[in-house]
Structure 1
Amino acid sequence: MSPEDAVHALYRRIDEGDLAGFGELFGEDAVYHRPGSEPLNGRGAIERFYREARTIRSGTHTLERVLLSDGAVAVDGSFDGVLTDGRTQSHRFAEIFEFGPDGLISRRDSFLFVVNF
């Protein structure tokens, strides 16, 4: 799977609630940097965050741009969904993905443009 295909698969699997398939896109030692929290180190920590700590119940990511550079992928887009407390949430985001030699995501950096998250 190409890096661009992997990124599209990542958002599709998140939106579909396919957390097992989502986790398979990350290398064992992947690092996920999220605003306002410590980095999530390792595939297991990333999967646990999505299963246990994520404050979003459901939603849809819409990618507006996908940019490739030296094997890395940058995206920007929007998200519309429902939080675990029932409130609706809409925000813009940008992310940068790096890939390991195995073709799996080795690093994900998220930048969220959120009001009242």
Structure 2
Amino acid sequence: MTDYAERVHEYYDAVDADRIDDLLDLFADDVVYDRPGQPPIEGKAELEAFYREGRPLEDGSHTVHDVLVDGSRAAVRGTFSGVQDGEDVEFGFADVHVFEDGRIAERYTYTDRDTV
């Protein structure tokens, strides 16, 4: 059985190190990613475009405080510190990752900011 807690840690490590190819390998081809204040990202091509060109957060890192796994779902609570729109930011987040066949098929992000 896949260790979903380990997989979500791999995700945050890849994001923080800007390893986009490694990050994309964690997701299903038909992934759906919902985040605050934005339309959903649908499919791996849109996800790649987001991480390569459209992500408003940069020069940052995630600190994961908790990962709770229930079946094929992993809930994560943490903090992000970095830059958004040229300004230093730090905020809390909660993400839910839904796995299918060992890959992230759905992802939901919640933050205490209007958009990320």
What is the TM-score normalised by the length of structure 2? 0.92
Report the alpha carbon displacement of residue 57 of structure 1 after superposing the two structures with TM.
1.9
Distance 2:114 2:32 in 1: 26
> After TM superposition, what 4+ stretches of structure 1 lie above 6 angstroms from structure 2?
none
Match of residue 86 from structure 1:
86
Give unpaired runs (5+ residues) of structure 2. Answer: none
Counterpart of 1:113?
A: 112
For structure 1, the residue ranges without an aligned partner over 5 or more in a row are none
Judging changes above 3 Å, is the alpha-carbon distance between structure 1 residues 37 and 115 closer, same or farther for their aligned structure 2 residues? Answer: closer
TM-score scaled to structure 1, two decimals? 0.92
1:1-56: CA deviation from partner (whole Å, max 9, x where unpaired): 52111100000000000011101100000100011111101111111111111111
1:116: Cα distance to partner?
8.9
Aligned length: 115
1:48 aligns with 49
Name the structure 1 match of 2:39.
38
Matched with 1:74 is: 75
What is the aligned-residue RMSD (CA, Å)?
Answer: 1.6
Q: Which residue of 1 aligns with 2:102?
A: 103
Provide the C-alpha distance between the structure 1 equivalents of 2:65 and 2:34, rounded to a whole number of angstroms. 21
- Contact 2:93-2:110 within 8 A present in 1 as well: yes
Percent of aligned positions that are identical: 35
Q: Measure, in 2, the Cα distance between the counterparts of 1:65 and 1:59.
A: 19
